[in-house]
Structure 1
Amino acid sequence: MKQVIVIMYFICSYSLLAEVKLFDMAAMRDASTLEVEVLKDWYVVPGKIKTRQKLITIKVGEFIPGKDYRVPVRFIVPVGQKAKGFHLTGGNNLKSINNDARLRGVEADLIQGGVGLVYTIVQKLDSWGQRELSQQSEALFSKTLNSHYSVQYWAWPASLMRSITAAYAEEDYFEKGQVACSGGSKNGATPSVAVIHDERISAVHATVSPISESPLRLCDEKAWADLREYNKHHPSQTNKRSKQSGMHPFLGGTHGPRYNEAALAAGATWQDLKSLANELADQIFPAKHFEILKKRGVELSFHPGTHDFVAYDMAYVGKNYPQLPIYLKANTGHGKGGDKSQFRGQANKTAFLLRHFFASEIESLLESPQVTTKKEGAYLQIEVQFPEGSKVETGEVFWMYNRAPDGSEAYLSEAFPSENQVVMEYNDQKGIWLAKIKITEGSQQIDFFSTHKKSLSFKGRKLETYLSSPYTRIDLK
């Protein structure tokens, strides 16, 4: 019943939301309203890499009337110098953020290079002691569906932006520079929203999180009718075993759990749903702003997975945003690791961050290639071309015939067959990577992508990076 109330009020209120931005950016940047509480003032943390650290809590803003939303923030900077810019993450919990940070991997590289680290918490509120605030905000959102009362749309992205403000308020320890965010799931989705609104963010590395709008996300009535018809006649193997027909609660959702069924049952129309989704889309999907972000100098990298219930629309993304830098590993997503031997040693995030902060010390990563296909009798010829001088070392193609449509349970459960992969050949004269696939008789369509390697070196250390071609769906009929 609570969900129905939320949906109906949201539908009635969407026209008002059209006039409201998700964030008041002047407020996000206002350091005078942080109301900082110092838990541990600046102190030296010994170890192989010495750092100076500070732990505070800050006021993000008034979340619900009369109730502030506060988050902890840990600052980490080099000893003996200011940090120039920083790497910001929300994938922490209350226990870890209260403990001194002991650095390793790319974080150690960043500190040694003079870049700071900023930790905060982007998690469900009730998972770190704020159950009452969570319940109160949900109740208020149920009455108003004002996006300001949503942890997903306001509180989490605002936490990152206010953490940036708090860091730069520490003028003796931070100076202005690049700000890169990274994380997976909610910690991929949150900076992907924040980067649209906050020009201080210069890079986002996001894993298993939403990237763009698509017909299902935008509540297109025909897309949903086609999906229901498909599910009716093609239950997934999981549903066959359980003798259930339900879909995963995130499949088809605009930016998280879907609400279509409950809204329609409560009397909404498809036009209501479409208007609401379109209003949100411009404020939450980074793909829609890719060219603007690129002109701003923002660097992006996405690892959506091929079988993820949040990034369930890769065919749409590949068709409409082929320029996006995306890495795909077959049969991966939330809780799905795919073939462990596939692209072993992949160091994309490490290389991405090092390149972003130390561009003069490491070569550039690969840029998205162009893909062309040609059907020749019983074969499909695939050509992948990278920009000149890309120094691509390898290429492999992965494919599946007659894959279930985006957003279906079968889309998640039916894997790319292990035998459906082939090493590509490089044509030096044309500067293209080639593969020829024999089409299985009776196949209606083929989904494929290629993944390519480029090895980089940072301070004598080899880093293997991978980038994929756009996920491509071809009609074979």
Structure 2
Amino acid sequence: MEPGLANQRHPVVREAGAARGISASWHAWVTWLRDKPMVVARMSLVHADPLQSNKTGEKQGPVLVGKPDTVEQGMMMRTGYFRAVIGTVLAVVALSAGSDATEKKPLFDMQEIRNPRSLAVKVLQDWHRVNGPVPTRQKLVTIRVGEIWPGREYRMPVRMVVPANRKARGFHLTGGNTLRRLERDTRLTRLDQDLLRGGVGLVYTVVQVLAQSGLGEMGRESEARFARSLDPHDKIQYWAWPATMMRAITAAHAETGHFEAKGRVAMSGGSKNGATPSMAIIHDERMTAVFASVSPIWDSPLRLCDRKAWDELEAVAGRFRNRFLGGHFGPNFNREALAAGRSWADLQNFAAETSDAVFVSRNLKQLRARKVDMLFHPGTHDFVAFDLAWGGAHHKDIPIYLGANTGHGQRKGHPKLERGQQNRIAFLLRHFFPEQVEPLLPSPAVAQEVVDGRLKAWVRFPAGAGEESGRIWWMFDRPIDGSPGYLSRLIPDDQSIEMKFDSTTKTWHASIPLDPKASRIDFFSNHRKVIRYRGARHATYVSSPYTRATLRGEKQ
């Protein structure tokens, strides 16, 4: 069958060998043509001198192109002409590659995302007053997010909440809601009340597996389409969920009588509701802050389908089945894509071409230029954020908090876990009210040294940061990132101690006795700062970079 031109809606749909800028369709066409020499022969056969001279003046014998029994008698291809034909084909391919790339739509059409006229708003509950400790006005609508694939509309609900007596300036946007919950007037939490008193609105939408929204069939079709196409627009997590949050902003801003045109937009959530805003904020400059827990942060080799990393993982852990471990940006779809006929090279190409649009770690420069606030809670034992050792080594300046022995499905936590941690509340209060709330702690620097059978660790914050405490945790010979053992082997109860502060060097330090049989040690420290707002105290914590130190016999 001749190569088709399907799945060309997005430039990440490329075949192996297309790295030079040749689109999947053209690359496949040239490959097919290469394997069909008679086609070339029939395109370029001419009468040829059987003893034509080459550039060196030597005589050449006849050059037959195609099968001898199918080439017309006396019809031969001149080498130079053949080269000219191939050159012409490649030139057309190159030109097409440029036009092909420009004609394709990016993952998000941001002009359309911001277009309120295409929302097709359906009002379920018009603006109405809701009394309570902080009176509000609320409205519930559904909006058209867009077409998840041609001809299939994707709609989601949005509830908007503003102060009763004024417009909201900025808002807190969340997706961790259900249809049933949004049907009811919002009952305000203490944080909600603080935000509304300060003039900040609330916007709620739904970022959940589609079965929970009564769209299970669409969700299943989306997965099947994506496995065949590797087009991120076909997959809910890459297009529909981020687009939902961005379109919710458009819907709120369209309510000009209730929201001011300018204002900060902060997002918070965990799991899919941590990953979704982390991705959306890369694309939408209206978004100004993201607080995300148990969700991907960085583009580690496993996520990029690096063959060496996967070989190392499988050599240690064997072939295992886990829905998330090793996934690019959430569930691991590698097996499904391979079963649908895609190759490992296809998966690598997909990861290489989509990761700039997905990972915060690849967009730090532009996010910081926009002054975006960020804080991440990956958890120390999470199957979505499964690559702490790699991230700690390569992204020491991304602010994180590591709750010891926390993550999806980890119910107990470490005995020394900071149970009163209120990072999310303080993060949002600081973002919206920077003149009234002190900053949270920045990421500190860490150093370590092995001396006389002990690991000595030092942690230093910038001057004036205001850290109040330090505690360190450690593990020996933790299984590698992405492995089942990474999740199951927890930090032992007795492997945590308080750190001491040296006022001379302005560092927190600890000395850890080493296991003489261990080949490496992983460690991190947590540090507290209490944030105050309207008489309330909020204990916040930030972690030093997760650090893996080689003790003997292994590469770090």
**TM-score greater than 0.5 by the shorter chain:** yes
Whether 1:102 aligns to 2:187 is yes
Sort the Cα spacing of 1:351 and 1:378 in 2 relative to 1 into closer, same or farther, 3 A: same
* Cα deviation, residue 343, structure 1: 0.9
Q: Paired residues, what number?
A: 458
Contact 1:13 / 1:145 at 8 angstroms: preserved in 2? Answer: no
CA 1:396 to 1:263, structure 2 compared with 1: closer, same or farther past 3 Å? same
Name 1:279's counterpart in structure 2.
353
Deviation of 1:429 (Å): 1.1
State the match for 1:444 in structure 2: 519
2: CA distance, partners of 1:279 / 1:145: 11
Highest RCO, 1 vs 2 (Cα 8 Å, sep ≥ 6): 1
Write out per-residue CA displacement over residues 432-464 of structure 1, whole angstroms, 9 at most, x where no aligned residue.
100111111121000000000001111111110
CA distance in 1, matches of 2:477, 2:537: 39
Correspondence for 1:170: 255
> What SS does the corresponding residue of 1:446 show, helix, strand or coil?
strand
Is it true that 1:247 corresponds to 2:330 in the alignment? no
Task: Work out the CA distance in 2 between the residues paired with 1:382 and 1:211.
Answer: 25
Choose 209-218 or 335-344, whichever is displaced more. 335-344
Alignment of 1:318 with 2:392, yes or no, is: yes
Deviation at 1:20?
5.0
Counterpart check, 1:301 vs 2:375: yes
Report the TM-score, using the length of structure 2 for normalisation. Answer: 0.79
When residues 293 and 164 of structure 1 are mapped into structure 2, their CA distance, relative to the original with a 3 A threshold, is same
Partners of 1:118 and 1:72 in 2: how far apart?
A: 10
Q: Give how far 1:22 is off.
A: 1.4
Alignment equivalent of 2:148, drawn from 38, 42, 63: 63
Query: Cα deviations across residues 121-164 of structure 1 (Å, max 9, x unaligned)?
Result: 00111211123333443444355332222111000000000000
Shift of 1:352: 0.1
- Give the SS at the match of 1:154: helix
Q: Contact (CA 8 Å) 2:173, 2:266: kept in 1 or not?
A: yes
Find out whether 1:193 has 2:279 as its counterpart: yes
- Alpha-carbon distance between aligned partners in 2 of 1:443 and 1:134, rounded to the nearest angstrom: 46
* 3-state SS in 2 of match to 1:463: strand
Whole-Å Cα distance in 2 between the matches of residues 200 and 119 of structure 1? 16
The answer to whether the 8 A contact 1:64-1:140 is kept is no
Does the C-alpha gap of structure 1 residues 118 and 13 become closer, same or farther in structure 2, counting only changes over 3 Å? farther
1:204 — aligned with what?
A: 290
Secondary structure in 2 aligned to 1:201? coil
Output the CA distance in 1 between the equivalents of 2:228 and 2:500.
59
2:178 is matched with: 93
- Residues 89 and 318 of structure 1: is their aligned pair in 2 closer, same or farther, counting only changes over 3 Å? same
Which residue in 1 is equivalent to 2:427? 352
CA distance in 1, matches of 2:110, 2:15: 23
Q: 2:313–2:483: 8 Å Cα contact kept in structure 1?
A: yes
Q: SS state of the match for residue 454, structure 1?
A: strand
RMSD over equivalenced CA pairs, Å: 2.0
Between 1:435-444 and 1:14-23, the stretch displaced more is 14-23
Letter in 2 for 1:344: R
Contact 1:147 1:154 in 2 (8 A): yes
Where does structure 1 differ by over 6 angstroms across 4 or more consecutive aligned residues?
Answer: none
Which amino acid is the alignment partner of residue 82 of structure 1? K
Q: Residue in 2 aligned with 1:3? A: none
2:333 paired with 1:259: yes
Taking the aligned partners of 2:479 and 2:407, their CA distance within structure 1 comes to 16
- 2-structure distance, mates of 1:231, 1:394: 38
What secondary structure sits across from 2:311 in the alignment? helix
**The one of 157, 182, 185 aligned to 1:72:** 157
Corresponding residue for 1:242? Answer: none
Q: Which residue of 1 aligns with 2:110?
A: 25
SS class of match (2:169):
strand
Alignment-derived partner of residue 242 in structure 2: 157
- Matched with 2:550 is 475
Deviation by residue 1:170-226 (Cα, 9 ceiling, x = unmatched):
001001200000000000000000000000000000010000100111111111111
| Residues 34 and 268 of structure 1: CA distance in aligned 2, closer, same or farther (over 3 Å) | closer
Alignment of 1:315-464 (within 5 A): 315-337=389-411, 338-339=413-414, 342-464=417-539
Does the C-alpha gap of structure 1 residues 448 and 247 become closer, same or farther in structure 2, counting only changes over 3 Å?
farther
Pick closer, same or farther for the CA change 1:262–1:140 going to 2, 3 Å.
Answer: closer
Aligned to 2:37: none
CA distance in 1, matches of 2:334, 2:223: 19
Moved more, 40-49 or 198-207: 40-49
Q: Is the 8 A contact 2:380 2:402 kept in 1?
A: yes
CA pair 101-439 structure 1, distance change in 2 beyond 3 A: same
Matched, 1:217 2:292: no
Match of 2:57 in 1: none
Q: 1:455 to 1:73 in 2, by over 3 A?
A: same
**1:127 equivalent in structure 2:** 212
Q: Which residue of 2 aligns with 1:236?
A: none
Distance in 2 (CA, whole Å) between partners of 1:11 and 1:63 is 16
Structure 2 stretches lacking a partner, 5+ long:
1-6, 25-100
Aligned AA for 1:256? G
Aligned partner of residue 141 in structure 2, secondary structure: strand
**Deviations for 1:357-404, whole angstroms, at most 9, x for unmatched residues?**
001111100000000111112111100000110111100000000000
In 2, are the aligned partners of 1:385 and 1:433 still within 8 Å (CA)? Answer: yes
Give deviations 1:227-282, integer Å, cap 9, x for gaps. Answer: 111014xxxxxxxxxxxx63322111111222334555777554433222111111
**In the TM superposition, what are the counterparts of 1:42-61 in structure 2 within 5 Å?**
42-61=127-146
Structure 1 distance, partners of 2:393, 2:192, is 35
Partner letter of residue 266 of structure 2?
A
Q: After the TM superposition, which of the residue ranges 138-147 and 213-222 deviates more from structure 2?
A: 138-147
Decide whether the 8 Å contact of 2:176 with 2:273 is kept in 1. Answer: yes
Among candidates 541, 547, 550, match of residue 466 of structure 1: 541
Aligned mates of 2:366, 2:390 — CA distance in 1: 20
Question: Which piece of structure 1 moves more, 262-271 or 457-466?
Answer: 262-271
In the alignment, is the contact (CA less than 8 A) between 1:125 and 1:134 conserved in 2? yes
* Structure number with bigger Rg: 2
**57-66 or 379-388: bigger deviation:** 57-66
- State the one-letter code of the partner of 1:87: H
Specify every segment of 5 or more residues in structure 1 that has no aligned partner in the other structure, as ranges: 1-5, 233-244
User: Does structure 2 conserve the Cα–Cα contact (< 8 Å) formed by 1:141 and 1:149?
Assistant: yes
The one-letter amino acid of 1:52's match is R
Matches of 1:139 and 1:263 in 2, distance apart? 9
Alpha-carbon shift at residue 13 of structure 1 (Å) = 5.2
- Measured in 2, the distance between the counterparts of 1:470 and 1:141 equals 35
Cα distance between partner residues in 1 of 2:353 and 2:498: 43
> How much has 1:60 moved relative to structure 2?
0.5
1:183 and 2:282 aligned:
no
